[in-house]
Amino acid sequence: MKVLCFGVGQAGGNVLDALLRYEQRTNADYVVDAVAYNTASTDLRGLDLVPEENRILFGADEVSGHGVGADNELAAELAERDSQQLLRGTDGSPTSTADAFLIFAGLGGGTGSGAAPVLAKHLQRIYEQPIYGVGILPAADEGALYSRNAARSLKTFVDVTDHVFAFDNGAWAHTGEDVAAAHDSMNEELVRRLGILFASGEVSESGTVGESVVDSSEIINTLRGGGISTIGYAASELPESDDDGGFSIKGLLGGGSSSVDELDSINRITTQTRKAVLGRLTLPCDVDSASRGLVVVSGPPEWLNRKAIERSRTWVEEQTASMEVRGGDYPLPESDHVGVLVLLGDVSRSDRVAEVRSTAVEAERDRRDREANDAGADSEDDSEAVVDDRLDT
Ligand code: GDP
């Protein structure tokens, strides 16, 4: 699936840069162009692979390139005011070749949190393609202000995009580890999943033996209807090829020229599917609250056993209680792994989102109490309005 990518704010730009690096490293080609936006000029300068001419500073009249701190309302205002300038980011991009647009942002900070939904809204007015957000949730120990920003921004982001891929910094930082120090490794985990998903939708049927390769319409259909999604991934290293006379059950039984044992391949694929879903998801959630799913099995074509892929798909269907789980393969002739990626779309219950939401409500209540105290009046309690009411958490 070809994607046109936008990174907004520091996290947005960093993750976009990491995706470009991953694309380069894997010799893939699914990013048609990459544009980064910020109110802080130093953050734009720190980027590596986003082309210089595609780094756009906005709000400079008001904040002179110094950023907005954690003030996401100011960022939204500046983005709205400079919306024409934001849209000029696609000048010169081959927009019609993109199957989808992707906007990356950290939802707890200022610039990305406030401006990413504004950018989505304006792109939505102009382009036909689906617009997906990649929203990064702050870890709980990053403070109540970040949670408050994230709860608000997530709600708006879900409303103005066709789907939001969520990534939870809280779930991916190891205990005791500083979240900022873990950004690079978290970005790697996120872009590997996104990279595999987009690259899988790019394989053409011709020239591969994959019998049911995933195509971009299957990804788009899995995300149709909107909401928040989560992605799981697990991989198993393959034994060295035993073409030189090594041990193979199939060989012993006189089976064909390939040294791949069918039972081994079925076991590996079904086990990795369970690990992908029951292991760490980009956003921890109740798996049975997902509305749709997509299972992508990657690896050398001789390992992509159809029966196993179908079995894995059915297993995910059972886990999610959804009748809409798609499955397909992604042949990688040179790979030494079998990997399984599971995309769960429109999840409605996530403890982490609930936690962000309740911290946000508390922070909002405190803020209003303080304001009312200062003014000597009773506070009006509509603090729940800050949070996402789409999820029944
Ligand atoms: P902005 O520049 O004002 O949009 O603010 P940031 O993008 O720095 O947003 C702050 C949030 O993003 C916090 O939750 C940070 O932990 C997170 N963040 C910042 N950089 C990265 C990054 O490279 N990767 C990840 N996963 N999170 C990041």
DSSP letters, 144-192, are HHHHHHHHHHHHHHHHHSSEEEEEEHHHHSPTT--HHHHHHHHHHHHHH
Is residue 210 pLDDT above 60, yes or no? Answer: no
Indicate the CATH number for domain 3-200: 3.40.50.1440
Poorest-confidence range of 78-92, 194-208, 326-340? Answer: 194-208
Ligand 1 pocket, CB under 6 A: 9-11, 14-15, 43, 106, 108-113, 136, 138, 142, 146, 169, 179, 183, 186-187
Distances (CA, A) of 285 to 24, 138, 194, 292: 31, 16, 18, 14
Q: How many residues comprise the chain?
A: 393
* CATH superfamily of this structure's domain 227-345: Tubulin/FtsZ, C-terminal domain (3.30.1330.20)
Which of 169, 174, 356 best tests ligand 1's pocket when mutated (most atoms within 8 Å of CB)?
Answer: 169
**Going edge to edge, which strands form the sheet with 3-8?**
55-57, 31-38, 3-8, 100-106, 131-137, 163-168, 228-237, 337-345, 292-299, 325-331
Buried b (16+ CB within 10 A) or exposed e, 189-207: bbbbbbbbbbbbbbbeeee
Instruction: Provide the pLDDT for residue 190.
Output: 98
- Measured in Å, residue 92 CA sits from the centre of ligand 1 at 28
Within the chain, where are the H helices?
9-25, 41-45, 60-63, 72-81, 83-87, 111-126, 144-160, 169-172, 179-200, 216-223, 249-252, 262-278, 306-320, 351-375
User: Domain ranges in the chain?
Assistant: 3-200, 227-345, 355-386
pLDDT in tens, 121-150: 999 999 999 999 999 999 988 999 999 999
- Measured in Å, residue 209 CA sits from the centre of ligand 1 at 41
- Measured in Å, residue 289 CA sits from the centre of ligand 1 at 28
pLDDT in tens, 12-63: 999 999 999 999 999 999 999 999 999 999 999 999 999 999 999 999 999 9
- Measured in Å, residue 34 CA sits from the centre of ligand 1 at 18
The string of DSSP letters for 234-296 reads EEEEPPPP-TTT---HHHHTT--S----HHHHHHHHHHHHHHHHHS--SS---GGG-SEEEEE
pLDDT in tens, 269-321: 999 999 999 999 999 999 999 999 999 999 999 999 999 999 999 999 999 98
* Number of the ligand 1 atom closest to the C-alpha atom of 169: 26
- Measured in Å, residue 107 CA sits from the centre of ligand 1 at 8
Instruction: State the ipTM, two decimals.
Output: 0.99
Which residues is 134 bridged to in the sheet? Answer: 104, 165
Q: What is the mean pLDDT of residues 85-101?
A: 96
